[in-house]
């Protein structure tokens, strides 16, 4: 059985003179027409089309806009198809986008991946054709990368060659692009606006003035000929260095995930110690904390390199996995709490977070996947936190307080000691304390007291 059909055309990079003859023929023959945005110089060739501009104002995010457009197109195509099949035809709609359907068009990507419709792409000129002509460059020879201005910080990460940044349609986007680089290009960048139109503009601007001297619109792009200090370049350099050292250093070459476990644990505790010595207000200890976090990051990169050599996963996979995991859990919170998320009770958020992890990890029990190798207090606290998400569970904190008041510590046996410690963990969980941290700090105080005793003894032999 045939599927509803969506024909996708491009209106070219400028005015009606750059719309292809093929696109004009489809406009003349397909009655049900849609236009992604009216804000295009060639939109006048589709006076009967329905526009989606209102979605840009009502949606909370760009992905939501794209998804809503896709759903509207699929729904319209299905409506046309229901009527057409009665006469043995295929229902179809026409969807027009600025430029070319295959260049930076997320709605088209969504349509192509939608099994409910058949999508027919028709070729068109893109803004890239005019850009290369105006700049006088061969993008293949230079290895130019096209970047979405709305995702500059992510898509430009690790890039070394020249970049063309499209979708620079507002001042906030330009500001985000400018602030993404700690060490920006020293040479001016080129701003290209409304190419192919009578008011076309091409001019150079210093990086620091990008969001001050440019008045952006939906036909604005930025050409960065020299990208000497790419976002995340340090990550790339670290990864490349470790790859070289694994090939040249016999000790590093023979390490495995198992052999590195103790170093990972050691570095973690050294980060703990650096955090204790760090003062966020004065900045004291910041250098030490930065160094220790680097040592911990090195362990993550090292494990990723070993897995990459075996063909299992890379450092990019690690970053993507935690990104997707955090996003999915946050979306689960948004789905339940909605606009109240920012002001929600912390305990409620933690419980929902834990329940999302249960679904995500396909756990049959809230108590699954609690590492047995955790320090005893940390393991007990994780159990106590998981317990708050178990329906019908009531923490025995009130009775624990009464028991402590009547407890004879002089007669405490091994089993009772464990029970007493567990009740302290329950009490810490109720109060929002970390028992492991509390014990560490109390131990630190005892160490200082003992050192005072030692000093007093050495001064008075």
> Where residue 255 sits, what CATH number does that domain have?
1.10.287.1080
Q: What is the pLDDT of residues 244-278, one digit of tens each?
A: 888 899 999 999 999 998 899 899 989 988 998 99
Say yes or no: 203 and 243 in one domain: no
306 and 253 in one domain?
yes
* One domain, residues 16 and 105: yes
Residues 210 and 270 in one domain: no
User: Which pLDDT belongs to residue 441?
Assistant: 81
Phi and psi of 394, rounded to 5°?
A: -125, 120
* Same domain membership, residue 107 and residue 40: yes
Q: Is residue 332 part of a domain?
A: no
The confidence score (pLDDT) of residue 395 equals: 58
Domain around 298: 233-313
Does 383 or 52 have the greater pLDDT score? Answer: 52
Q: Which of 203, 224, 245 is the last residue of a domain?
A: 224
Residues 9, 33 within the same domain: yes
Kindly state the average pLDDT of the residues 25-34: 95
The residue ranking higher by pLDDT, 240 or 376, is: 240
| Residue 230 contacts residue 157 (beta carbons within 8 Å) | yes
Domain with 144 in it: what CATH number? Answer: 3.30.950.10
Question: Does some domain include residue 385?
Answer: no
Of 77-81, 88-92, 230-234, 331-335, the one with minimum mean pLDDT is 230-234
- Tokens of residue 360, six digits: 């995500």
Question: Is 335 inside any structural domain?
Answer: no
pLDDT number for residue 402: 44
Domain boundary pick from 105, 125, 145: 125
pLDDT at residue 230 tops 70:
no
| pLDDT (0 to 100) of residue 399 | 43
Q: Are residues 32 and 110 in the same domain?
A: yes
Residue 357, in any domain of the structure: no
Q: Choose the most confident range, by mean pLDDT, from 11-15, 366-370, 419-423, 439-443.
A: 11-15
Please check whether residue 373 lies inside any domain of the structure: no
Query: Is residue 115 domain-shared with residue 161, that is, in the same domain?
Result: no
Q: Which of 224, 257, 276 is the last residue of a domain?
A: 224
At residue 232, the pLDDT reads 61
What is the token pair recorded at 150?
């709305």
Residue 172 has pLDDT above 70, yes or no: yes
Mean pLDDT of the chain: 83
Residue 47: pLDDT over 50? yes
Task: Kindly state whether residue 257 falls inside one of the protein's structural domains.
Answer: yes
pLDDT of residue 384: 72
pLDDT (0 to 100) of residue 35 = 94
When mean pLDDT is compared across 146-160, 200-214, 347-361, the lowest value belongs to: 347-361
Q: 191-210, pLDDT tens digit by residue?
A: 999 999 999 999 999 998 99
Torsion sign over Cα 157, 160, 166, 170: positive
pLDDT for residue 396 is more than 60? no
Dist. CA 210–CA 141, nearest whole Å: 27
Give the count of domains, the chain.
4
pLDDT at site 400: 45
Question: Do 302 and 394 belong together in one domain?
Answer: no
Q: For the domain that residue 99 is a member of, what is the CATH number?
A: 3.40.1010.10
In a domain, 402, yes or no: yes
Residues 216 and 259 in one domain: no
Residue 348: inside a domain, yes or no?
no
Query: Within this chain, do residues 24 and 98 fall inside the same structural domain, yes or no?
Result: yes
Same domain, 156 and 115: no
């Amino acid at each position: 059985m045939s599927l509803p059909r969506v024909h996708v055309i491009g209106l070219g990079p400028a005015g009606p003179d750059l719309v292809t003859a093929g696109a004009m023929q489809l406009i003349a023959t397909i009655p049900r027409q849609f236009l992604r945005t009216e804000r295009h110089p060639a939109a006048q060739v589709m006076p009967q089309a329905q526009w989606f501009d209102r979605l840009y104002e009502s949606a909370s995010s760009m992905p939501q806009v794209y998804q809503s457009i896709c759903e509207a197109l699929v729904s319209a195509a299905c409506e046309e198809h229901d009527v057409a099949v009665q006469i043995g035809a295929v229902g179809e709609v026409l969807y027009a986008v600025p430029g070319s359907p295959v260049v930076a068009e997320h709605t088209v990507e969504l349509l192509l991946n939608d099994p409910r419709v058949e999508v027919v792409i028709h070729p068109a000129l893109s803004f890239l054709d005019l850009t290369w002509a105006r700049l006088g460059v061969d993008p293949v020879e230079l290895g130019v990368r096209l970047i979405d201005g709305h995702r500059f910080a992510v898509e430009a990460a690790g890039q070394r060659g020249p970049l063309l940044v499209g979708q620079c349609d507002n001042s906030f986007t330009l500001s985000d692009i400018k602030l993404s680089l700690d060490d920006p290009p020293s040479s001016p960048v080129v701003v290209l606006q409304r190419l192919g139109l009578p008011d076309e503009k091409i001019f150079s601007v210093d990086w620091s003035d990008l969001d001050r001297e440019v008045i952006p619109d939906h036909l604005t792009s930025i050409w960065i000929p020299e990208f000497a200090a790419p976002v995340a370049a340090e990550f790339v350099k670290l990864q490349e260095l470790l790859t070289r050292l694994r090939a040249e250093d016999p000790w590093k070459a023979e390490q495995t995930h198992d052999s590195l476990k103790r170093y990972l644990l050691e570095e973690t505790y050294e980060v703990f110690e650096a955090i204790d010595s760090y003062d966020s207000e004065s900045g004291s200890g910041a250098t030490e904390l930065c160094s220790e976090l680097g040592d911990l990051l090195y362990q993550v990169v090292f494990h990723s390199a070993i897995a990459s050599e075996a063909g299992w996963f890379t450092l990019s996979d690690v970053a993507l996995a935690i990104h997707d995991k955090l996003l999915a859990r946050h979306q689960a919170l948004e789905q339940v709490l909605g606009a109240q998320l920012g002001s929600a009770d912390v305990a409620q958020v933690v419980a929902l977070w834990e329940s999302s992890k249960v679904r995500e990890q396909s756990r049959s029990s809230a108590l699954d996947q609690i590492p047995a190798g955790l320090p005893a207090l940390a393991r007990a606290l994780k159990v106590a936190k998981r317990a708050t998400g178990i329906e019908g569970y009531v923490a025995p904190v009130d009775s624990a307080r009464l028991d402590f008041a009547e407890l004879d510590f002089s007669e405490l046996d091994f089993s009772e000691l464990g029970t007493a410690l567990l009740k302290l963990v329950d009490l810490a969980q109720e109060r929002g304390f970390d028992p492991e941290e509390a014990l560490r700090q109390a131990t630190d105080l005892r160490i200082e007291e003992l050192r005072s005793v030692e000093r007093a003894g050495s001064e008075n032999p």
